[in-house]
Structure 1
Amino acid sequence: MTTLILESDFDDLNLNEVAETGYGIQAVAGATGLGLPPVTVQWLEGAGDGSRYRNKRVLGRDIDLPLDIVGRDRAHLRELIGRLARMMTGECTLALIEDDGSRWTTKVHRVGGGEYTLSGALDVQTTITLRAGDPYFTASAVTTQTVKGDAGTRSFLSDLVALPVAASQAIGTILLPNDGDVPAYPVWEVTGPGRDLHVVSANGEALRWNGTLAADEKLIIDCREATVVDGKGVNRYANLAPAPRFWVVPPGTSTARAELLDTTAASQISCSWRARRWMVI
């Protein structure tokens, strides 16, 4: 059974608390908006019959969340309603925790709902409508693939399938397992020494950085934000080669080619990402 939790900067609400303790705020059956998100599709209309598909854009999702709020007494019931009301004043994180402990989240804002009728009992029922601008649920767990330099051959070993290269070059193939439903955005972190980073996706999309890293100096490339900074936060975007491709990690297991020149045993390349899903049950 999936457990829902609402989180903000100042409070966390376990939406399975009534089932666990007999009191609290409980998400009940009837939630909508947790499946496939809406899309807008563009079609090309020609002179002939029919039309041709051009592309689509995935839209944000609206989630209707029915809640049962149960207090120990009237004062406790007012406290629970107040906590929920304060939570709904700003951005929240809706977290879904599956039976195996995996955790998936999306940022939400209240856009409607929240009405209820007082019946004199110690519980009330209401439905709140939340909008998630990001249509995907993102895994909290980070997947990281790390490869290190070798002082003797200057090639990446262990996690890489070695290719024959010159002694001053580090090159190899790295596996990128993505258990999500949609592409994930990688973050590349490189520890020097080294120069001329070159990472190529299985489809041949190339991202090249022509700068140089001293020993222990770091470079961080965020493919979602399209940013390139060093370990001190200094912008190093200018060292990118022309027409950079901030490519994504597709669902399933794919491979990428990584290359770095003038490496030592201290050199390291890490590729990290969070899986994303259309829906979580």
Structure 2
Amino acid sequence: MDSIKWIRSDGTEYSLTGQSDIKVLFDREGFFMPPVSYVEEAVPIEDECSGTSIQEGKTVRRLNIEPREIRMRLRVSGANPAELRQNVRKYMKAFSPLFGDGKLQVTTPDGIVRVLYCRYLDGLKGQENPDELTTTTQTLPLVLIAYDPYFYSEASTSITITEQSTTTSFFPFFPLTLNYAGSFGEVTINNDGDATAYPVWTIYGPADFFKVSNLTTGEAFLIDGNVENGAIIGYSRYATVDARPGNYLIERSDGTNLFEYRSPDSVLFGFQPGENKIRVEIAGPASETKVDLNYQTRHLVV
């Protein structure tokens, strides 16, 4: 049986399993594949001679992974009616929609820990009938919605790239520091998730310009410009490049927006499932120059 925890946006944690005052009943839904939809188009293929159709049906133009709903039934308990009502209030507050997105953290029997970013949608209305309410228990249906339907690895994978060493493959198990060879550095990252993983880069100066390329997909971003004495990032400063959808950011540590200094063909790329060969190029580096990389893998099922 999975261990389930709700973490409110302010960091308050509520264990929903293994507790005396609440349990998740065994009729939950939404923990495996999310709903999908397809953008379709009718494309009949005709015989050039007769003009008759030789292929029926439609073709798929795009796959959409839709928002995911999590459905659970919670049974809240108390030693007496007063304690029961206090516990019901506690869990109602835990899932208050006023707190926005929280994290549903699930630990599976094989030790995998994943989180889903979601919020309250429906259910906690308090059905008061003999099947749902006794003097010491209250059964509450709960519906959460995840507009981002992917489960994420609990911990981020962290890498530090410095100048001049050897290329290696990296499998995301724990944070560590590595050195690589290349214009500044190269690394092969193995994304073991089900979908593209979007990183956050931190480039520590000095650097006259920097370019980061995914040699596997052909995508890259280049930041160049005379921002400070010829350097895009000066000594004792850094730039953050956030490629996560909805969080796009290219900003220096002093608050300078560097979006205008990116090349027109720049793409804030992610890591496709499988191997991704990454190259970092930096002009004008010094011993202090380094690149930190952090990302979480994304999964269709818990």
Matched, 1:221 2:241: yes
Secondary structure (helix, strand or coil) at the match of 1:81 reads helix
1:52 to 59, 77, 82: 59
The answer to whether the 8 Å contact 2:80/2:135 transfers is no
Secondary structure, counterpart of 1:46 in structure 2: coil
**% same residue:** 22
TM-score (norm 2): 0.81
Alignment partner of 2:220 out of 182, 206, 231: 206
Distance in 2 (CA, whole Å) between partners of 1:156 and 1:269 is 14
- In structure 1, the residue matched to 2:267 is 245
User: Is 1:162–2:176 an aligned residue pair?
Assistant: no
Structure 1 unmatched ranges of 5 or more = 150-154, 164-169
Matched to 1:193, the amino acid is P
The equivalent residue for 1:141 is 155
Amino acid at match of 1:15: L
Deviation of residue 156 (structure 1)? 5.5
* Cα separation, partners in 2 of 1:10 and 1:78, compared to 1, 3 Å: farther
Letter in 2 for 1:3: S
In structure 2, list runs of 5 or more residues that go unmatched. 46-55, 168-177, 226-231
Q: Deviations over 1:23-66 (max 9, x none)?
A: 21111211101111111211121233222111111111111111
Asked if 1:82 corresponds to 2:89, the answer is yes
Match of 2:184 in 1: 171
Structure 2 residue aligned with 1:190: 203
> Does structure 2 retain, via aligned residues, the 8 Å contact 1:31–1:66?
yes
Asked if the contact 2:185–2:279 (Cα under 8 Å) also holds between the matched residues in 1, the reply is yes
Per the TM alignment, residue 100 of structure 1 is displaced from its structure 2 partner at its CA by 6.4
Residue 108 of structure 1 deviates from its aligned partner by 2.3
User: Once superposed, what is the RMSD of the aligned Cα atoms?
Assistant: 2.1
Counterpart in 2 of 1:267? 289
Which amino acid is 1:173 matched to?
A: E
> SS of 1:80's equivalent?
helix
Match of residue 13 from structure 2: 12
Contact kept? 1:223, 1:248, Cα under 8 Å:
yes
Q: CA deviation at 1:99?
A: 4.9
Shift of 1:102: 4.8
Counterpart Cα distance in 2 of 1:265 and 1:255: 24
1:52-102 CA distance string (max 9 Å, x none)? 111111111111111111212222211111112222321332221345665
Measure the CA separation in 2 of the matches of 1:134 and 1:46. Answer: 32
**Under a length normalisation based on structure 1, what TM-score does the superposition of the two structures give?**
0.86
- Asked whether 1:123 is paired with 2:137, we answer yes
Aligned residues of 2:197 and 2:296 also touching (Cα < 8 A): yes
